Structure 1
Amino acid sequence: MVNFFKNLGPGILVSAAFIGPGTVTVCSLAGVNFGYSLLWALLISVFACMILQEMAARLGLITGEGLSDVIRKNIKGKFARFLTLLLIFSAIVIGNAAYEAGNISGAVLGAETLFPGKNFGFGDLQINLWSIVMGGLAFVLLLLGSYKKLEKIFIFLVIIMSVAFVVTAVVTKPDISLLLAGFVPGNFDAGLLTIIALVGTTVVPYNLFLHASLVSEKWKDEKFLGIARKELIFSIGLGGLVSMAILICAASSNLTDISSGGDLAVGLEPLFGESAKYFLAIGLLAAGITSSITAPLAAAYVVKGCLGWKDGIGSRKFQSVWISILILGIIFSSLGIKPVEIIKFAQIANGLVLPIIAIFLFYMVNQTSILGKYKNSLIQNILGIVVILLAMFLGVKSIYSVIVSF
């Protein structure tokens, strides 16, 4: 057990990435708008996340490279390789900019619950001071902190959030019969965009790249494959438990709408009383900061692999990528759009990008030339195909819903 906890790292960082403001907001919205009825969608999302992240971790461990590195080296034909890398580059970099805006906006929600926000003009652009502060804090941690040193901080924050939300969910005394009924699939059309957002906030495309890269750096031998799998199952399972606890808290509250950190805090009052908003504010700050670090870092790993850079996290080129994502996130979070709307958009955008990335990952883990005896088994292929089809179905339905709405 001691050795297991010593090996915690990549999986916990993946959980820290998806237990961000998006998770808090989307799960709260799902609970407020649909009660417990979408717990089944969240449970499926957690299993789908485990399946895809296992493939990414296995690929990183066996090859010793990140996902984008493997794709660049194994797509035959210059034109096909160029189009593939351009698609991945665009999807992850642009998607992460939107995701980063959601992360920073979530942290801003927490900060503004504690202290009033302040905007200042920059031409026609109104910049939120807290967006600058949150982005600046993420910048300092990425610039000065070794990611290995940050592992303990991430582990601590994830455990604290897990205990707090799970205990809160129990204390709210949810209706057990309704809660159990929520794990039975249903309510598809009414909560379609919310279902897509739940998938997007749990199965995050950039985490597939981040996980493969972190595993390839942490473990250098195939003998660690077993511990890597156990670590990701534990970490993602813990993250899924937190997500469900947040949904249960919101469903057990008497909320009818969510638009601010104060609104989200109401669901926590049965345990924390009037101090609930302060607890949630701290939780959103922690979640926003951790996610604000992982999103730019993942984008930098993607660009590094796509362009074949040899230098890693300390190089100027690598730093220029995550700095760009941070700046875009700060700007997008300061456009006067409600933070909750930015966060919802980021989750839906990720849900649309997911099928593309999942297909590339699935292709790579089926190549004997890449993974040898560690390539996908029949059962892993069946599970992978089911996850990809589910992601494609949700993506198509989302696009159709948007078109019909116009």
Structure 2
Amino acid sequence: MKVVLQVALGILAAIGGFVDIGELVFNGQAGSRFGYGLVWAILVGLGGAMVFSEMSGRVAAVSQRAVFDLIRERMGLSVGLVALGAGEVVCLMTLTAELGGVVIVLRLLSGLPYGLLLPVAGLGMVVVILTLPFDWLERLFGYAGLGLVAFVVAALKLHPDWHQLARGALPSFDLAQPGLYLYFVVGVIATTVSPYEVYFYSSGGVEDGWTPKDLWLNRVTAFFGFGVGALLSIAILVVSAEVLRPLGIQPQHLGSTAMTLGTLGPVGLLAGLGGILFAVGGAALETSLSGAYSLSQFVGWPWGKYLGPRKAPRFNVVWIVFLALAMLVLATGVDPVAVTEYAVIFAAVAMPLTYAPVLLVANDRSYMGRHANGRLANVMGGVYLVIILVAAVLAVPLLILTNAGQG
């Protein structure tokens, strides 16, 4: 039973990393525009998430230090500041989108005004993070978020063309809309390999007290957790392709993606909305804590949920400030989906600043000893670093060229 509960970190990381508002928006739009044609991009993102999360978890278990705790020491102050600045901006943008997603789902469930639900959602997050220990946060959001399995049930009920779905797992290219296709390729990959995912995963390993004896658990959580996330991601794309594409509907709102679960009836729709609420809420939790983890680790402040507010006051102030800033941005009336699209693209730009240091530290035997990367890990890490660099270079030009995916 203890091992089963420990795997919750991987499941929470998968739900927050694969199935957050960015994933729901980009996979929903990708399915409605290109059918099954971008399944392969989800699988590419899955591989990258597995490779770098396993590395960051291994670094945390062996060194007892999280990613940003090592970046400044290993990369120097200047590079570290650039990585920190980019990471914090992406965390804040992503948190704003995720918190907006929470409010949208609460509005769908209750019918209450957006302006009333925004402070409820923000203050609710503060209360939950302050009162629940880290392991209970994992369990609550990780397992409740599995209500997203409703998308898998809906996908099976819609009887997709399995041959076409299998073809979608093979890399392809849309010559009719090359710019738009590449934009969604970059977006789908970036949603699955977002930097905050690694910040939270490695810091969570330290919070859970991982040691070299837990390396097997790191592999299980990274591979199983993100595997679950990929299955849910593909299901969202399939449901969108089957329900929205024949109608020519491009989902511009989170509610459009959620309503595709109407094929399951009221109970299935309610289960799916509950899953979305906890998945997006879990991602909001991750991004707020990730911003505080990164800054605290970089400047050397005491950090971690396990220390409590009295022993780590500045850490707690930072994540509360992050939530407050996100609430202020949302109070202006900005569209959370628009924020999501920009957050995902800027996450793509910031990816090399996170993953290159992870690869370097995981190779450094002065930190890792005999647990440093082997040949296979280095080959996979190198391949994915090239993919990440290409995505980072293409992200902003494609954003401009396609008018943020509008064509």
What is residue 243 of structure 1 aligned with on the other side? Answer: 233
Higher deviation after alignment, 6-15 or 136-145: 6-15
**CA distance 1:332–1:195, change in 2 (3 Å):** farther
Matches within 5 A, 1:5-404: 5-18=4-17, 19-75=19-75, 81-116=76-111, 118=113, 128-161=115-148, 163-187=149-173, 189=178, 190-254=180-244, 255=247, 256-272=249-265, 278-313=270-305, 314=308, 315-402=312-399
**CA distance 1:361–1:39, change in 2 (3 Å):** same
Q: Aligned-pair distance for 1:322? A: 0.4
| C-alpha RMSD of the superposition | 2.0
> Could you give the per-residue CA deviations for residues 259-296 of structure 1, whole angstroms, max 9, x where no partner exists?
33442234212222x56654443333222221111111
> Could you give the per-residue CA deviations for residues 16-74 of structure 1, whole angstroms, max 9, x where no partner exists?
32222222222111111111100000011011100010110000000001111112333
Q: Where in structure 2 are there 5+ consecutive unaligned residues?
A: none
- The number of residue pairs the alignment matches comes to 390
> Could you give the per-residue CA deviations for residues 90-135 of structure 1, whole angstroms, max 9, x where no partner exists?
112111110011101211221222334536xxxxxxxx33222211
AA of the residue aligned to 2:15: A
Higher deviation after alignment, 91-100 or 110-119: 110-119
Q: Identity of counterpart residues, as a percentage?
A: 26
Q: Aligned-pair distance for 1:311? A: 4.6
AA of the residue aligned to 2:90: G
C-alpha contact 1:56 1:67 (8 A) present in aligned 2? yes
C-alpha contact 2:95 2:326 (8 A) present in aligned 1? yes
Q: What secondary structure, in the 3-state scheme, does the structure 1 residue paired with 2:172 have?
A: coil
Q: Aligned-pair distance for 1:233? A: 0.8
Q: Aligned-pair distance for 1:217? A: 3.0
C-alpha contact 1:17 1:294 (8 A) present in aligned 2? yes
Give TM-score, length-normalised by structure 2: 0.90
Q: Distance in 1 between matches of 2:8 and 2:226?
A: 12
Choose between structure 1 and 2: higher helix proportion: 2
C-alpha contact 1:21 1:102 (8 A) present in aligned 2? yes
Q: Where in structure 1 are there 5+ consecutive unaligned residues?
A: 76-80, 120-127
> Could you give the per-residue CA deviations for residues 360-401 of structure 1, whole angstroms, max 9, x where no partner exists?
111111111110111111111111011111011111112333
Q: Distance in 1 between matches of 2:96 and 2:48?
A: 25
Give TM-score, length-normalised by structure 1: 0.90
AA of the residue aligned to 1:39: V
C-alpha contact 1:266 1:276 (8 A) present in aligned 2? no
Q: Aligned-pair distance for 1:334? A: 3.1
**CA distance 1:143–1:373, change in 2 (3 Å):** same
Q: Distance in 1 between matches of 2:111 and 2:336?
A: 15
